[in-house]
Chains A and B, each alone.
Chain A
């Protein structure tokens, strides 16, 4: 299972980690040898847990759970197990196809909010934000982008490189310069690793800071995320986010005292977010709970 996931990610760096996880789950399902539906589900749950151990991001956990629900919450009344399995595999393929298209949908929705001459601030490297900016550039809009460096992995520099390839004028700024640059920008767009029940988002560390600054300067703060990132968490504050999401999987396994480690993500509460762009539509943070109830029920 592990090698499949790693190979998936290596093949297509452009795919979201959750999509890669779901592809490997589907492969796993095809190769599964269990005799009963219950056995199938148990194996799937175990597989999801293994995947979380490899890549402890919120998106993998939410994507995995949604995949499992989508394939198993149908009428599996066929007496023959192989028939049931085929139904599940079919639905799995359907789910995969849907979510591969979701990034395009989000891009189409969001790029209209970028006006000609806009100055955009974004954080770290997000493939969805890249798609949005790509769509806006294809629409012949002129805008400039500021990207934060986003330490400790300097993902911002990667994003700047990609934007440079699209001929979009881009500047890399320090993480500490967010407050400095905020008066110059017109809007802030960030991606998300997970969207939580309250309507808040979990994203790379530094997002919360950016949100607080944009609120203080009255600049709109937009979040772009696909619907499979909706997760059934409800953090009350930064401390309340479970540790297994905050740190990378390998660190969780090896390091004893987590106080010495830097968390990789933070939580942005819904009061700081103006709008969320998802493939389910443009939502306010309070509507996220409504959508979550529809998705998970």
Chain B
């Protein structure tokens, strides 16, 4: 009772924020009321239905309609709650609800001015099962073991007419919150040909992602941008619609489809954000052909600036760090690191390279092929021999999939192992990463958000025998094929970006500078 009174005094001071807390309190009261009326089955059921109707009612208008509709929604909820629970309510609560109504009317006037903000603040409220204030919604792809989230995803995909891909095989319990798909059942099996909702080049791209034909962070982003160019080319604005809004809506099912084929990478996420921003910035009086041309030019310049020119700038800085007589260790196949080494070799630096590789992807072989073709002296080892060759190494060059806001480096699984052993041997570790791969996410371990690849990849056939062939029959056996891991910033000595050489802890500075630019 005491905290109710303090809450009501808070109502006097604060403005539109109170509507959120008000809604939470009302929901809490409803839940308590449900508990109180447990013995009486008839009326509580009716009440529950009424409450359920009133809860999704405010949530739906809150998410879809503009702000001034959201304001009467909590009023509606509070009114219905008041009607159902009058005997259980005290004077203080009635007073609080009256104040809430006044506040919501006040905010509805404010809300007409700040429409976007209100709907954004009411959006996190609309998701179920949150008891604490403003919890940011977790992305769907790390909530696979939560049946409510799965149901939501299924509904959303059904609405967008995108096929839902089902998980495959037994998942190790520590990673049961992630998807695990099989390469043998691509999502394109369930799509009718010709595809109606999804553009055919997107279908092709999705298939290339899911089968691993296009792999590597830069390659995926560039392929995505080229496909979007094709989509924009084939797009025509339906009558009575604006290009800036309709095209963004058209892109959403494509993006859902692509993330069903393979979870989006950080670089792809940033590229999509950029495209959506560009599309929504198209002025409404712009003619369609002109708008399309502008968008395609934007995409071209993004690829050119952020990927191609960035790799030139990074090579320039990196070549300063390569001296004659160096022994450089690289891991896996990073397009950027290969580019740097080739450029350095062209500039007549004398060095040799040790390529470290790991199963099941064996990407190092591709890197080895490219470097040997250039004429660089290479050695090839598997990651198990790492501590054996590290005493010979003078520098380690690593690529990155993404750089997180707390300085952690997310890269191919095995990278953090290499950084750790290199630190133990006091060998400098240099990470090369373009700035468009920097993301605002924070992660301290490799469990919370990762990608599980096809477990059947771990089956190897030697001398005609494949021992793990029937792994599904053994109930206690699980195969884990992780794709990414995170390296803490203490193991990384230097990050080379297109803005220059920065220590790993300065990633938030770069993000801040970039936001200021935009």
Contact = CB atoms under 8 A, between A and B. Distances in A.
B506 A290 contact: yes
A234 B493 CA distance: 10
A197 B509 CA distance: 13
Contacts of A270: 503
Contacts of A199: 503
A290 B407 CA distance: 14
Nearest to B489: A286
Given A236-B395, A240-B321, A289 B493 contact: no
A73 interface: no
Interface residues of A, number: 14
Contacts of B321: 236, 240
A197 B500 CA distance: 10
Contacts of B494: 198, 234, 236
Nearest to A286: B505
A286 B508 CA distance: 11
A289 B503 contact: yes
A255 interface: no
A289 B506 contact: yes
B512 to A, nearest CB: 9
B501 A197 contact: yes
Interface string B481-506: 00000000010011000000111011
User: Which residue of B428, B494, B501, B503 has the most chain A CB atoms within 10 A of its CB atom?
Assistant: B503
Contacts of A237: 428
A270 B428 CA distance: 14
Contacts of B430: 236
Given A197-B502, A199-B503, A289 B395 contact: no
Contact of A234 (B323, B501, B513): B501
Interface string A227-244: 000000010110110000
Contact count band on B: 10 to 19
A293 B501 contact: no
Contact of A286 (B323, B428, B503): B503
Nearest to A198: B503
Contact of B513 (A236, A240, A286, A293): A293
Nearest to A236: B428
A270 B505 CA distance: 12
A190 B395 CA distance: 30
Contacts of A197: 501-503
Q: Please report whether the interface of chain A is mostly helix, strand, loop or mixed according to DSSP.
A: helix
Contact of A289 (B323, B428, B490, B502): B502
Nearest to B407: A286
Interface in A144-175: none
Given A198-B503, A236-B493, A240-B321, A293 B509 contact: yes
Interface in A272-297: 286, 289-290, 293
B279 to A, nearest CB: 31
A181 B299 CA distance: 63
A267 B502 CA distance: 17
Interface in B416-441: 428, 430
A148 B423 CA distance: 31
Contacts of B395: 236
Contacts of B513: 293
Counting chain A CB atoms within 10 Å of each CB, the highest count among B321, B430, B490, B506 belongs to B506
Contacts of A239: 323
A197 B506 CA distance: 10
A180 to B, nearest CB: 25
A197 B317 CA distance: 14
Interface in A107-123: none
Contacts of B501: 197, 234
A260 B294 CA distance: 63
Interface string B320-338: 0101000000000000000
Nearest to A293: B509
A237 B396 CA distance: 13
Contacts of A198: 493-494, 503
Contacts of A289: 502-503, 505-506, 509
A240 B427 CA distance: 13
Contacts of B323: 239-240
Contacts of A234: 494, 501
Contacts of A286: 503, 505-506
Nearest to A284: B505
Contacts of B493: 198, 236
A294 B430 CA distance: 24
Interface string A53-74: 0000000000000000000000
Contacts of A271: 490
A293 B494 CA distance: 16
Contact of B509 (A236, A240, A290): A290
Nearest to A200: B503
B514 to A, nearest CB: 12
Nearest to B426: A237
Nearest to A270: B503
Interface string A73-106: 0000000000000000000000000000000000
Nearest to A269: B493
B320 to A, nearest CB: 9
A293 B501 CA distance: 11
Contacts of A236: 321, 395, 428, 430, 493-494
Interface in A161-219: 197-199
B153 to A, nearest CB: 40
Nearest to B501: A234
Contacts of B506: 286, 289-290, 293
A2 B237 CA distance: 72
A83 B513 CA distance: 34
A286 B509 CA distance: 11
Contacts of B428: 236-237
A32 to B, nearest CB: 31
A199 B506 CA distance: 11
A245 to B, nearest CB: 15
Pairs of residues from A and B, 3 with the lowest C-beta to C-beta distance, nearest first: A286-B505, A236-B428, A289-B506
11 contacts: A197-B503, A198-B494, A198-B503, A234-B494, A236-B321, A236-B395, A239-B323, A240-B323, A289-B505, A290-B506, A290-B509
Given A198-B494, A199-B503, A289-B509, 11 more contacts: A197-B503, A198-B503, A234-B501, A236-B395, A236-B494, A237-B428, A240-B323, A271-B490, A286-B503, A293-B509, A293-B513
